[in-house]
Amino acid sequence: MQGKKHFTDKVVTRFRLSERVPAHTFYRQLAELVDWTFLYEETQFLYSHTGQPSPTRSCFSSWCWWAA
């Protein structure tokens, strides 16, 4: 089953990670430049249509990228 999570910034003891990461970091710049929605179509074959919901493709791809 293909899952998709919508990110909502959560406040944990008055700490927001998004406020602590500088705007000029590589990953913030990359997120502004790259449209990651193509991952949903490219990885469709990896997901089952039954069973438990899978992690989102963007999470899955980042796991694969970090594991490499």
Q: Residue 40, class by beta-carbon neighbours within 10 Å (0-12 exposed, 13-18 middle, 19+ buried)?
A: middle
Q: Which band of pLDDT confidence, cut at 50, 70 and 90, is reported for residue 11?
A: low
Using DSSP's 3-state secondary structure scheme, residue 55 falls into: coil
The whole-angstrom separation of Cα 3 and Cα 8 is 16
Q: What is the pLDDT of residue 33?
A: 92
Spatial CA neighbour of 37 closest among 56, 17, 15: 56
User: From CA 1, how far away is CA 50, in angstroms rounded?
Assistant: 5
For residue range 38-67, what is the model confidence (pLDDT) as tens digits? Answer: 888 888 888 777 766 666 666 666 666 665
